Structure 1
């Protein structure tokens, strides 16, 4: 594993997150060799050259396929727009590279299935960029649920809301194109689904209604262009054993910036978690004197594994990019053959099947099985 050679495709928001993680993972954890940032690809050579200098990559190219032929590259980060994930990840796997691919897997279920088939055929490690599951508190919540701290789970509700699509005057761009996916479902709902996958499992049956708050948006070249996917999705869910759940996603919710609100209700208590306050969760335990009942806050600290790798003092808090560094370390652990806490392509495909079942449910106005 010494000096794992890294290639990066795309340098936007998530590309920079990956680059920061690759740059920091050895310093934070100390149990992995420092990766070698070998090559970076962008849409043109000038942008690639500039970003390589900023992010610390040794070489750059305006053609992402150049990374496939570079024998110094062992693993490729795919951080491009959704519609390019499948072809890039499959090509990387076929070239003998490990893959770290941002969510969602693909914009079609067939492409997601091709990605898993390519991973299986290659024998390489391929994981998805679901960093929210890396939060030490999310892991602790999963442990509490597994230990029966709140009893048998009776109901689950998850919401994801942001407001970057809330302004009707915001110009049309690629996230409103049909080729980028269903909209709120695969751009958004996949994140709460990743949390559910580690907390209670994924739904087995769904009923969905989606909505477009704005039918069209200003076109950048003048006039208006019809919005081709949905910014709002509401889903009823059923899990193994009959557990009921609700998922709501909204990309046009003014005032919400990065909200993923998880409510898990059990026969002996409840857990509440909000991603906008990612360094705490609320725990309700019905045992003891009823006069003292109420939610109490649990803050991140060194008692929650991984937190101490970043900060020695409790309550100071981790951030989004810190979780990406944790995810990077888990990827390296998987490549090294060690146990790893990741959403691999196997689990990623299950999330995709749930999303596509939700979209089909909306189209057919009925309950749909996800498996």
Structure 2
């Protein structure tokens, strides 16, 4: 009998988790079909409605019901950022495995408590960094490891969207201090997760953060001060000796889902843009001088696990398919496969340390060592 699943949250990412749990056995065929036991949300009515839509057995307005349910083995956390620590720690202490959306927590102290709880529990705990699951990212990682672009010496990371670009968009929880620093932890953690799997950790950083709009329309009328920053940029150095640039902006008109990664080495370079997520650009100086140029690699069955979804090249995967891959990696890790390709709570805490060091640097206006 498959693992029992509990899901907290039925919004955008909650639905994404639900689709992954519903699809993982169909796509991969080598895992038991999970049992979708219960879904928790803010109200009983909301939870019951989405439980039916997402194929869960029942809904509840109290997320602690999932923690106490002996029929649930894994809890997916897709609630707002500020609730991650309390929910994850409670689930781990109750003997559940945890799949928690990013960012890990809104404070380094809470992230550390989450890591400690995972270690003490002996259970599997991972974070929702699904962009690392892209077959094109795995291909980039292989090329770098094989020396295709030589020694990496410079990295540029960008992430831009425009869902906060409108100055007349109403204030909501992502602009509140309780949700964290803003673009830095809500957003920058994604390119930082890619850096983690492609190259290694950051050892020093100098940064700045900005607010394009000081206030937004409030629900009850008038305007409310924006409490965090929608723009962040940083220079960094890595443990492998490379220099780097990180730039993130969630108020960038025209950008819808851009994560741009440029990795430059002594023998070539690799370029990737999430808005064209089924393509990878590769340049190598080993090509003849009269035919040198970036080659476009299209996602294909030669780039695992693309072939689990589509038997033909060039047809393309999407955001939700990456979550299905991540779900399968979680199940691999629960089954004891230490080679599973995930960001666990140990690695997630390292990303959080980078986030908080970057925020400290912006406040101090100086370099910070990690």
Q: TM-score, normalised by structure 1?
A: 0.99
Match of 1:166 in 2: 165
- Once residues 52 and 241 of structure 2 are traced to their aligned partners in structure 1, the CA distance between those partners, rounded to angstroms, is 53
Report how many aligned residue pairs link the two structures: 369
Alignment of 1:75-114 (within 5 A): 75-114=74-113
- In structure 1, the residue matched to 2:212 is 213
Q: Are 2:356 and 1:356 equivalent residues in the alignment?
A: yes
Q: Structure 1: how far apart are the matches of 2:193 and 2:47?
A: 32
Q: Deviations over 1:137-156 (max 9, x none)?
A: 10010000000000111100
Measured after TM superposition, the shift of residue 251 of structure 1 is 0.4
Q: Deviations over 1:309-338 (max 9, x none)?
A: 000000000000000000000000000001
2:48 equivalent in structure 1: 49
CA RMSD of aligned residues (A): 0.6
Structure 2 Cα separation of the partners of residues 14 and 288 of structure 1: 43
Whole-angstrom CA distance in 2 between matches of 1:7 and 1:255: 37
Aligned residue number for residue 21 of structure 1: 20
Equivalent-residue separation in structure 1 for 2:173 and 2:304 (angstroms): 39
Identify the residue that residue 346 of structure 1 maps to in structure 2: 346
Q: State the Cα deviation string for residues 61-84 of structure 1 (Å, max 9, x = none).
A: 100000111111000000000000
State the alpha-carbon separation in 2 of the partners of residues 273 and 250 from structure 1.
18
Aligned to 2:268: 269
Residue by residue, what CA displacement relative to the aligned partner does 1:24-75 show, whole Å, maximum 9, x if unpaired?
0000000000000001101110111100000000011100000111111000
Query: What SS is found at the alignment partner of 2:188?
Result: helix
Distance 1:23 1:238 in 2: 41
In the other structure, the counterpart of 2:368 is 368
CA contact (8 A) 2:200 2:240 kept: no
Post-superposition offset of 1:240: 1.3
What residue number does 2:154 align with? Answer: 155
* Alpha-carbon displacement from aligned partner over 1:187-224 (angstroms, at most 9, x marks no partner): 10000000000101121100010000000011111001
Q: Give me the whole-angstrom Cα distance separating, in 2, the residues matched to 1:234 and 1:3.
A: 44
Q: In the TM superposition, what are the counterparts of 1:278-357 in structure 2 within 5 Å?
A: 278-338=277-337, 339-357=339-357
Aligned to 1:117: 116
| 1:98 CA drift (Å) | 0.1
The alpha carbon displacement at 1:305 in A equals 1.1
CA contact (8 A) 2:168 2:216 kept: yes
**CA deviations over 1:204-251 (Å, ceiling 9, x no partner):** 100010000000011111001000000000010001143100000000
- Residue range with higher mean Cα deviation, 284-293 or 336-345: 284-293
SS at match of 2:216: strand
Hey, what does 1:72 align to over in structure 2? 71
Q: Deviations over 1:95-144 (max 9, x none)?
A: 00000000001000000000000000100000000000001110010000
SS at match of 2:206: strand
Q: How much has 1:369 moved relative to structure 2? A: 1.5
C-alpha separation between the residues in 2 aligned to 1:218 and 1:85? 27
Q: Quick one: distance in 2 between partners of 1:278 and 1:208?
A: 28
Gaps of 5+ in 1: none
Measured after TM superposition, the shift of residue 288 of structure 1 is 3.1
Q: Distance in 1 between matches of 2:46 and 2:233?
A: 39
Q: Find the aligned partners of 2:239 and 2:51 in 1 and give their Cα distance.
A: 47
Secondary structure in structure 1 of the residue aligned to 2:234: strand
